[in-house]
Amino acid sequence: MELSKQDWDIILLNVKNKMDLYDIAFETWLKPLFINKIEGNKVFVSAADINSAQIVTERYYTQIIEELRLYLKNNSIELIIEAADLLNSSENIDYSSDNEIEDADIDNIFLPNINYNYVAANLNENYTFESFVKGNNNSFACEAAKAVAKEPGCEYNPLFIYGGVGLGKTHLMQSIAHYVLRKDPTKKVLYITSEFFTNDLIDAIGRNNNASINKFREKYRNNDVLLIDDIQFIIDKEGIQDEFFHTFNTLYQNHKQIVISSDRPPRELKTLNERITSRFSQGLIADIMPPDYEMRVAILKKKEELEGIFIDDDVLKYIASNITANVRELEGALTKVIAFSNMSKCELTVDFAKTVLKDMINTKGKDTITPQKIISVVAKHFKISPTEITGKSRIQSIADARHIATYLIKTLLPDMKMTAIADFMNKKTHTTILASSNNIESRLKQEENLYDKPLTNTIDLLITQINED
Ligand code: ADP
Ligand code: MG
């Protein structure tokens, strides 16, 4: 069998057209694929690296193989997607078969969607480790979840994850479930919320016969991994909590894994019976904190990558620096600007994002000071454009304005990390930021003993303007 470069290009274009892919998705994922070799009916296709191989496998495998078979008029063609950078190493992975991931690093799970019943386990298809961004705010919880996923029911039982709303608890819990099932689809895994557990039990009790209670017990006690989300909503009734306690104990004694999430740590779960919270405390407790600026940018970038779309970095930075409460809102903001820009066919610029997000972004009050605002006030004062401030021009007046803007961001936004400021100002390292800020600080210091204080006055004026609405 022969397949020329032209043939391959046509096949890829067919995939693009049938799937109605954006150009950017095509250019990023499909175009770089090349045929490495053909052996019998097997077509070996290379992607640049593991990451692309994973994404191509997940999203386009079915369509590519279909087009290949159609084009070659041969239904027994097999497709194997490999990562070019692994081809020469022993880690070479054959995506066409259901690989054992026994020893694979959990950070590199890139199996095609093997058949496992995530619907029966109550899982959202997208909540996997691959789509979860690990950062300062969640690294411990993330590592704990991976350890549990690798060896459920062993060391960390129960795993208790807590944190505020929209910070990724559900996503992380379900990632464990997906992983366990991918590794062994015969494992019994069940994800439920504590409300669901409560209602299910009330329902079973309401039927008033032993069979339904037994069925209920069977359903919850007969699992390898049971994940109960938002335990704070479990009803404060003896009967409910008793049943939960027994479920917990049965699983625990049989070395089955229990994963629990809550909006607060066990000791603060006041409505929960103490014998239950003390059980929780015997396991591993991991918290998730709100994401910092870098993490917010990283999450937006991941989302951009997963959607296969391209968004201007400035827009991502604008969203990341203004939507700070939690990841759910962050994603909501991104989805909203993308949808609006598609609908109105307007280019997705920072100004466009500002207009679309004005309801989500609080524009009143002191906590509305953002790096954008500081830059725009400084730019206006010096009669230059904001992009000149974040740009690279060495013209003295512009460089001065840049130093001042940097100093003001650092002073007025003390929670913003140096690396985040550097990123914002388009600087490679935070040392540049430090240098800028020190420059202004020492000039202010020199002015302290002078009668004329031009810089001090300018800075004061700017701060007043920044604090105005
Ligand atoms: P919680 O259960 O803590 O309220 P969720 O797990 O529902 O939060 O997360 C809210 C949204 O944010 C989900 O869409 C989830 O995929 C996303 N999300 C949260 N944390 C992360 C992360 N670290 N990486 C990628 N997506 C995340
Ligand atoms: Mg949740």
Across residues 122-136, what is the average pLDDT?
A: 93
**pLDDT-based confidence at 174, cuts 50/70/90?**
very high
* Distance between Cα 157 and ligand 2 center (Å): 20
Ligand 1 atom index nearest CA of 132: 24
pLDDT at residue 469 in the model: 58
Q: Give residue 436's pLDDT.
A: 93
Percentage of residues of the chain with pLDDT beyond 90: 59
* Residue 57 Cβ contacting ligand 1 at under 6 Å: no
In the predicted model, is pLDDT for residue 144 greater than 60?
A: yes
When pLDDT is cut at 50, 70 and 90, the band that residue 64 belongs to is very high
Segment 247-273 mean pLDDT: 94
Residue 203 Cα, ligand 1 centroid: separation in angstroms? Answer: 30
Of all ligands present, the nearest one to the C-alpha of 174 is 1
Ligand nearest to the CA of 263: 1
Does residue 104 carry a pLDDT above 60? no
Local confidence band at 102 (pLDDT 50, 70, 90 cut-offs): very low
pLDDT reading at 284 higher than 80? yes
Ligand 1 pocket member 427 (CB < 6 A): no
Band the pLDDT of 114: cuts 50, 70, 90: low
Atom of ligand 1 nearest to the CA of 174: 6
pLDDT at 97: 32
Question: For residues 95 and 265, which has the higher predicted lDDT (pLDDT)?
Answer: 265
pLDDT given for residue 98 in this prediction: 35
Q: How far is the CA of 285 from the centre of ligand 1 (A)?
A: 18
Lowest average pLDDT, out of 50-54, 161-165, 184-188, 260-264, goes to 50-54
- Report residue 367's pLDDT band, with 50, 70 and 90 as the boundaries: low
Predicted local distance difference test score (pLDDT) of residue 407: 95
Q: Is 132 in the pocket of ligand 1 (CB under 6 A)?
A: yes
Q: Whose CA is nearest to atom 26 of ligand 1?
A: 132
Q: Is residue 320 pLDDT above 90, yes or no?
A: yes
**Contact assessment for residue 433 and residue 410, using Cβ atoms and an 8 Å cutoff:** yes
Nearest to 106 by CA among 201, 178, 29, 18: 178
Average pLDDT, the chain: 87
**pLDDT value of position 449:** 80
172 Cα: distance to centroid of ligand 1 (angstroms)? 8
Answer whether residue 91 shows pLDDT above 70. no
Contact 101, 111 (CB under 8 A): yes
| Least confident segment among 65-69, 233-237, 364-368, 423-427 | 364-368
Tokens of 98: 């259901």
pLDDT at residue 19, as a whole number: 87
Q: Which residues surround ligand 2, an ion (CB under 5 A)?
A: 169-170
Q: What does the CA dihedral 150, 151, 157, 160 come to, rounded to 10 degrees? A: 0
Q: Specify the pTM.
A: 0.62
Q: Please, which pLDDT band fits residue 159 given cuts at 50, 70 and 90? A: very high
| Cα-to-chain-centroid distance, residue 233 | 25
Asked if residue 62 has pLDDT above 70, the reply is: yes
Give the distance (Å) from ligand 1 centre to CA of residue 409.
Answer: 29
Single-letter amino acid code for the residue at 352: F
Q: Measure Cα distances from 135 to 128, 142, 262, 420 in Å.
A: 16, 9, 20, 14
Q: How sure is the predictor about 362, in pLDDT bands with cuts at 50, 70 and 90?
A: low
- Residue 213 has a CB neighbour count (10 Å cut-off) of 15
Do 379 and 388 contact (CB within 8 A), yes or no?
yes
88 C-alpha vs ligand 1 centroid, how far in Å?
A: 37
pLDDT above 60: residue 111: no
Residue 295: alpha-carbon gap to chain centroid: 9
Determine the residue of 306, 327, 335, 336 to mutate for testing ligand 1's pocket, defined as the one with the most ligand atoms within 8 A of the Cβ atom. Answer: 327
User: What pLDDT shows up at residue 359?
Assistant: 85
- Which value, in Å, is the radius of gyration of the alpha carbons in the chain? 27
Query: Is the CB–ligand 1 distance for residue 291 below 6 Å?
Result: no
- Residue 457 reports pLDDT greater than 90: no
